[in-house]
A = this chain, B = another copy of it.
Amino acid sequence: MLRLYNAKILMPDMSIENGEIVIDNGIITYVGDIRREFEYTQEIDIDKNLVMPGFKNLHTHSAMTFLRSYAEDLPLDRWLNEKIFPAEDRLTEEDAYYCCILAIMEYLTSGITTCFDMYFYPDAMARASVDTGFRTVLSGTLNNFKESLDILKYNYNKYNNFDPLVSYKLGFHAEYTTDIELLKGLAELSHKLNASVSAHVCETENEVTECIKRHGKTPVEFFSDLGLSDIPKGIYHHCVWLTDRDIDILKKHDITVVTNGGSNCKLASGIAPLERLDKANIRLALGTDSAASNNCLDMFREMWLATALQKQQTQNAAAFPAKKVLMAATSNGAEALGIDAADISVGRMADLTVIDMHRPNMQPENDVINNLVYSGSKENVLMTIVDGKILYERNKGFNIGFDEKEIYAKIADIADRILR
């Protein structure tokens, strides 16, 4: 049993309480005032720092870390076709495994305890997650080139019976990479398995324009008409370019919208209308997207951007305030993924982050949540705990079964071989 005491605790209602947390076998078994009745295997003085639910990174392609800083300053279509796709063709599954470990290390330094990962080597991330102790939900990525319906079906069964740290959701890459016959097959599979479908949706204006040309409908309408959103709780990534009718459809099918402010800015794709979506009661979550497009896998950046870009876009400094951002980054993401780690309460999985409040950027504590969202950075991540195990400590390093510098050397070799 692990005891975290003398802590500030971020409670499910977003209030802050002083107290302690007890974790047993990966589960939170106590949250509250000091008590001394147990024998603990480990007791940690949190020194009045903040214990909060770990961040849920709802959109990423972990294996793409080898491409960080490789192809900069290009629009999405040229970036994908001229740089990213050719490089990915040379990536082996073994390469991808190590790239995923690097991504997991980066997630842990940013307090991220779960990611929703979409890549054509799901085994790489599944194994990397189990081997390091990280939690991952895999997304299918059905498309014309690399993932068939048979593969998708196989993966769905395999990774939903793989390890408690791993699960799998149906998904396709995007409208512009996936033929209608495949999408029809996917809709059928979704109905048969009673499983929702995730995808990249309305990321760029061009994507929407081309879809309307091809099918006479927006991507959201097109997917809905194909039956791809009949099973509720699909997860749509980006959603930058939406009509009011699209938003009605998203609401009707209880679809979660994942915003990726960093990637959308850097690729000049636009700003997702989070205020409109929030007013329509759409569940919002945050994602980093990949190291190739963002370029860092940092939920502090994404939290700040989620609110700052809304304020900027709506010309309203009150838009999408800190508490909503923090919910999107934590509990909403857990709810969307169906994992029992939404907040700090008894019975939940112990996926936690400890935030160092004793840093200049967190002082004074006029408002802890505002500090976290508007000022927080990776320097504040003291500790990241997944499934009750401490996987990262700022002052001690990683506890994931791999040597940090060996991973860097391995990735350098992979990048050298593929990119140079």
Q: Which residues of B contact A360 (CB under 8 A)?
A: 65, 102-103, 105-106, 109, 297
* Known interface pairs A73-B321, A317-B73, A361-B296; A419-B311 also in contact (CB < 8 Å): no
Say yes or no: A72 contacts B374, CB within 8 Å: yes
| Complex alpha-carbon distance, A316 and B106, angstroms | 28
Interface residues of A in 106-146 (CB under 8 A from B): 106, 109
Chain B residues with CB below 8 A from A68, complex form: 363-364, 366, 370-371, 375
Q: CB-nearest residue of chain B relative to A363?
A: B408
Tell whether A338 is near chain B: CB-to-CB under 8 Å.
no
A271 to B308, alpha carbons, bound, how many Å? 12
Given A68-B371, A363-B412, A365-B412, A317-B74 contact (CB < 8 Å): yes
Given contacts A66-B364, A370-B69, contact A405 B321 (CB under 8 A): no
Determine whether the beta carbon of B375 is less than 8 Å from that of A69.
Answer: yes
Q: Is the CB of A296 within 8 A of B377?
A: yes
Known A76-B317, A360-B105, A363-B102; contact A262-B69, beta-carbon cutoff 8 A: no
A377: chain B residues at CB < 8 Å are 296, 298, 300-301, 377-379
The verdict on A391 contacting chain B, using a C-beta distance below 8 Å, is: no
| Cβ proximity bits A392-420 to B, threshold 8 Å, 1 near / 0 not | 00010000000011011001101100010
The range of chain A's interface size is: 35 or more
A367 adjacent to chain B (CB < 8 Å): yes
Of all chain B residues, the one with the shortest Cβ separation from A381 is B379
Known A296-B361, A358-B405, A364-B412; judge A371-B73 contact (CB<8 A): no
Report chain B residues within 8 Å CB of A66: 364
Closest to A374 in B: B295
- Asked if A341 lies at the interface with its beta carbon under 8 angstroms from chain B, I say no
The interface bits of chain A over 77-111 (1 if a CB of B lies within 8 angstroms of the residue's CB, else 0) are 00100000000000000000000001101100100
Contact code string A253-275 (vs B, CB < 8 Å = 1, else 0)? 00000000010111110110000
- What CA separation (Å) do A408 and B365 show in the bound complex? 9
Asked if A165 is an interface residue, CB under 8 A from chain B, the answer is: no
Complex Cα–Cα for A315 and B102 (A): 31
In the bound assembly, the distance between CA atoms of A404 and B363 in angstroms comes to: 11
Is A304 positioned at the interface, with any CB of B under 8 Å from its CB? yes
- Which residues of B have CB within 8 Å of A27? none
In the complex, the count of this chain's copies comes to 2
State A360–B108 Cα separation when bound (angstroms). Answer: 10
Contact A268 to B363, CB < 8 A, known contacts A69-B374, A262-B308, A375-B295: no
Q: Check B378–A311 contact: CB distance below 8 A.
A: no
- Interface: A44 (CB within 8 A): no
A180 CB-CB contact with B under 8 Å: no
Binary CB contact string for chain A from 23 to 55 against chain B (1 if under 8 A, 0 otherwise) = 000000000000000000000000000000000
Give the complex CA separation of A105 and B370 in angstroms. 20
List the B side residues contacting A297 at CB < 8 Å: 360-361
| A309, chain B: closest CB distance, angstroms | 7
In the complex, chain B residues whose CB is within 8 Å of the CB of A109: 359-361, 379
How far in angstroms is the closest Cβ of chain B from A67? 8
Question: Which 3 interchain pairs have the tightest Cβ spacing?
Answer: A69-B370, A106-B360, A265-B308
Binding site for B on A (CB under 8 A): 65-70, 72-76, 79, 102-103, 105-106, 109, 262, 264-268, 270-271, 291, 294-298, 300-301, 304, 307-309, 311-312, 314-319, 321-322, 358-361, 363-367, 370-371, 374-379, 381, 395, 404-405, 407-408, 411-412, 414-415, 419
